[in-house]
Every structure is written in structure tokens, then in C-alpha cells.
A and B are shown apart, each in its own frame.
Chain A
Amino acid sequence: MKRTVFRSRWLPYVLVLPQVAVTIVFFFWPAAKSLYLSVFKSPPFGGRDIFVGLDNFAVLLTDPGYYASVVNSFVFAGGVTVLSVAGGLVVATLANQKLRGLAIYRTALLWPYGIAPAVAGIIFLFIFHPSYGILPYFLSFVTDYEFNWLLKGWVAMTLVIGATAWTHLGYNIAFFLAGLQAIPTSVMEAASVDGAGPVRKFTGVVVPLISPVTFYLVVVNMVSSFFGSFGVIHAVTQGGPGGATEIMVYKLWKDGFIGLNLGSSAAQSVLLMAVVIGLTMLQFRFAEKKVTY
């Protein structure tokens, strides 16, 4: 269908100008500069930039600490995604019944989305605190194991994953609810008629039908926790203990702004860009294959 368009020689350019200007100044130019910086070693106060080719990359790719940060990033993003998407689906399924007060439940489940992960992290930091946190206190009745996140990497990781997943729940629940409520009752009826029990109904009918929603949520949760999790790490664990919660974004910032190693930080930026592009392409590939419409 042919769209109606307006004619003007200059107006469209003016209209796109603000966005294009911001994009060039704050996206493309810095990204290009990152590429440039990544092949130099630059002392913090400036002066003599030394061209070193791919040396910064070589150092990174042979640094076990860098690989650890990559693993940590995926563990973190994966943990948050699994926890909050699965949890969201469970709660949404519960809520997807004939219920009085559904609107109230929806409100009561949605609001954590408004909490910044960093703030959630600080609250969880207190709850997990080895000396006076309520969680270790109650756990101490069950087991002798000391849940000291200052010394045990996995406890720290659980802490930050938990805090972040908590803030994602509301978002996922909202989406799943919408998806579930869009399933025509006729389909559910047909399945019942076929003799399917509730579990079969769920896995055979519901899951495929909400797969676009599931797919979307998985992607959004992964991406947002991969890149948006800086706040919670910075506010709570600062990458510790022993680098157990040091994710790529945090390491990048730390090496550049605290360690003042501009070249390495830029190289990490470039590698991160490659990861993003890879993930984006994967996302589109996957969308074509698995999702049933």
C-alpha cells in the first residue's frame, strides 16, 4: 500500500537532526575514539601516546582475570534471567485465574520494577550482611555454614543476582500476564477436550503460544543485566570478593577510571562491542527459528 508522504526539501532533515546529532556526537564519535585508543598505551595525564598495535588486546586475551569477568558476566546475566523469567511465569500463571482483586495483585507485584538495581542491591546487602543481616541469621538455625559474602564468592554472586532478579520480576510478570490473557479460551477448551491434563496443557499449549513473550523477555533480561548491572556491582560488592562478582562492564570502568589504564579500558570497550553485536545477531537468528507465531 503506498503511503502518503509529505513533500519538503529541508524539513525531514531538520526533524531528524536532533537525533542524528546526538547519535553522532555521543555514540559514533566516542565509539570510533574507543577503537583508536585501544591500539595505544596512554599515560593518564596525557602527553605521549605510544602506538602498540594489538598489544592491549593480547594482554587482555591472555589475562585469566579478563576471562573470569566474561564468565561472571554470563553467569550473572544468566542467573538473573532464569530466576526472574521463570519466577515471573509462575506468578503470572497464578494470577491468570478468575480472581477478584487482580488489579490490586498486579500493582502489588509490579512496583519493584521502579527500584533501581543499585538501591535494591544496597537493601539486599543489608539483608545478607554477615554480622547482622536477617538472612544469615535465619539460615544459622538451619545450618552451620557461614554465609559470608565477603569471603565466599558464590554468596556474593547470589546476592547481586537476587537483588537484580527482584527488580526484574514485575516487568516479566506484566508481560507474561498479558501474553497468557491473550491466549484464546477456545484453544484451552480444545486441549481439555483432547483429554490433556493441566501439565500437558501448560507445556503443550501455553508455552508455545507465549513463546514470543518468553523470547522477548529472555532477551531483554539478558541484555539489561549484562549491561545495566553496573550499578548493583558498584554499590554492593565492587567486584569482590577476589573478583567473584567482577563483570565485564565493571572491570572496564575500573581499569579505566580507577586504574587509569586508558588503553586497556578502550580495548575492553571494543571487545564488549563485539559481544553486543554478536548477541544482537544471535537474537535475530533465534527469533526466526524458535519462536512460533
Chain B
Amino acid sequence: MEPARATTVGADALARPRVATAERVAERPRRPVDWGTLVVHALLLASVAVIAFPLYYAFVISTQEVNEVIQKPPRLLPSTHLLENYAEAWRRSHMGRLLVNSTIVAIGVAVGKIAISMLSAFAIVYFRFRGSGLVFWMIFVTLMLPIPVRILPTYEVIGNLGWLDSYAGLTVPLMASATATFLFRQFYLTVPNELAEAAQIDGAGPLRFLWSFLLPLSWANIAALFVVLFIYGWNEYFWPLLITNTEEMRTVVIGLERLIPRSGTELPTWNLIMAGAMMALLPPVAVIIVMQRWFVKGLIESEK
């Protein structure tokens, strides 16, 4: 129990750093703040720069013309061909369709996973039924069966279901997850008993309890989980590669790989590839930046 509490505290601390550090400032021994802080700021800025550099460079390339791309010394400032590169990359890789597919997969997987994990965790925590141990064990075992362990037969199953090249095939198999179920289970275990008792006294059935009592309490968890799962669904590579055969059903991370010509009959246009890369990574990065509060919470809570 200790670690859970510690990290919840930590999560809050992360979400409200100013309060925590303000307290600390008061307790720290006095010393000339300027130099120390300056150095730390400098180091942090350096870290940010190093971490951001690959992306910045990709952006710069995506604005250049093909000749500028292969120039030496490499240019580090953006050039002027942004719009036409992005338009061409969009056209060539049918980016519109790819983005739609990725969005459907990301949202579908996130929503689906949350829904069925919530239901299963609810059943496990709030019911006593025969086989609940077996169910729990089954869900746990899936942790040990990542996709690569079952690729060929899974491909066959998808084929037999007629789900190759379909949204169903892209999303449903990714919806069973142990981590989300365990997360909800942990969370429900911390919900005070009195709540369920009160609901029962009120005459509310289990579904009513779930919908009106547990769900509102879980929003924070759900939001956090949604962000994590959205990114997972968006960035999935292996599974979509496996079961999509046609260009129309590919997701954006795979469509990007397609822009890199390998068969040797076309010459690589790196500026377009980088433009494609930017378009591929913007949505999940945007989701993180906008929802980072929940995201951090979700990361830390999902540790359990």
C-alpha cells in the first residue's frame, strides 16, 4: 500500500509543483540563489534543446527542396517550401485517409479498452462468482503473450473472421489488456465500502451503481488512461502492418514507411518523408501537450 500512496502524493506534487517547492524554499538553508539556479536553468535548457533537436531538424528538412536537403554543409534554418512539401506528401501517401484510419484506431482502441476493462474490473471486485479467480488469471496471463508470440495464427484467425483490412481487425484484438483492468481493479479497491452499501440500501442495482456512482469517481483515471491508450493506438506499428494489405486501410505510422522507396525504382525525397513524419507525430504529441496533466497522472497511476 505504501508505494501507491507515495506515488499518488507524487502525482499531485507533479501537478502542483509550485506549492511543494514553495514549502521547500522556506526550509532550505540560505545560499546565493543566482548562480546555482542559473546553472540548473542552463542545463535544463540544454537538455530541452538536445531532446528537441531531432524534431527541429526534421521540421527544417520538411521545408526544404530536394536539392537543399542533400547539400553540405547542412542547413539548420527552415527554408520556404513548407506548404508545397506538405501538400505533396499529403497527396502521395494519401495522408487524409491514413490520418482518418489512425484516428479511428487510436480512439477505438482507447475507448474499447477502457470500456471492457472497466466492466471486467467491476465484475471482479464487486461480485463473488465462480470462476472469478480463473478470469483474473486469464487476464493476467495475457501479459505474457505479446503479439509476436502469436502472430501467424492470429493472422489466420483474423483472416477467418474476414477481418483483414478492416477497422474491426485493427482495433478489437488490441482491446483486451491486463494493465487497464488491473488499474481499474486497484482503483475500485480503494473506493470506500460505504458507497456500495449506500447504493444497495438505496435499492440501486449493480449497473446503476456503476453508472451513477463509480463512473463519476473514475473520470480522472479514465481521462489519464485515454491519453496513454490513444498514443498507444496511434503509434502501433506491428499489428496494423500485419493485417492490412491495402493502402486504404493503413495507419499513418506505416504509411510513412511507405514514403521511403525501397524497391529502387524511385529516388528518396527526404523533404517529403520528413513532412510526412511531422504529420504523423503531431496528433499524439498535441494530445500529450494539451492533456499532460491527466497524462502524467495516468502514467503514474497505471504503474500499479
Is B one of A's binding partners? yes
Minimal Cβ-Cβ distance residue in A for B131:
A13
B101 within 8 A of A: no
Does residue A76 face the partner (Cβ distance < 8 Å to B)?
Answer: no
Contact B70 A131 (CB under 8 A): yes
Q: Chain B contacts of A19 at CB under 8 A?
A: 116-117, 119-120, 139, 176, 181
Contact with A along B271-301 (1 / 0, CB 8 A): 0011001001100111111001001100110
B54 at the interface (CB under 8 A from A): yes
Is B217 part of the contact surface with A, judged by Cβ < 8 Å? no
**Complex CA distance for A4 and B58, rounded to whole angstroms:** 56
Answer yes or no: A6 CB below 8 A from chain B CBs.
yes
Contact B151 A119 (CB under 8 A): no
Say if the beta carbon of B166 comes within 8 Å of chain A.
no
**Cβ contacts under 8 Å, A29 to chain B:** 153, 157
Which of B82-90, B91-99, B235-243 makes up part of the contact surface? B235-243
| Structural contact, A5 and B54, CB atoms closer than 8 A | no
- Where chain B touches its partner, the secondary structure class is helix
**Minimum C-beta distance from B101 to chain A (A):** 14
- Answer whether residue B129 sits at the interface, using C-beta atoms and an 8 A cutoff: yes
Interface hits, B30-81 → A, CB 8 Å: 37, 40-41, 43-44, 47-48, 51-52, 54-55, 57-58, 61, 69-74
Tell me which residues across on chain A come within 8 A of B274, comparing CB atoms: 123, 126
- Which one of A15, A137, A234 lies within 8 Å of B257 (CB-CB)? A234
Whole-angstrom distance between the Cβ of B207 and the nearest chain A Cβ: 7
- The CA-CA distance from A212 to B125 in the complex, in Å, is 26
Do the beta carbons of B257 and A235 come within 8 Å of each other?
Answer: yes
Q: Is A34 among interface residues, defined by CB-CB distance under 8 A?
A: yes
Contact of B292 among A32, A106, A213, A253 (CB under 8 A): A106
Q: List 6 A-B contacts (CB under 8 A).
A: A15-B122, A16-B123, A20-B120, A106-B17, A123-B277, A293-B2
**A contact set with B: CB distance below 8 Å:** 1-6, 8, 11-13, 15-16, 18-20, 22-34, 37, 91, 94-95, 97-99, 102-103, 105-120, 122-124, 126-127, 131-132, 134, 137, 166, 169-171, 174-175, 177-179, 181-182, 185, 189, 192, 212-213, 216, 227-228, 230-231, 234-235, 248-249, 252-253, 256-257, 262, 265-266, 269-270, 272-273, 276-277, 280, 293
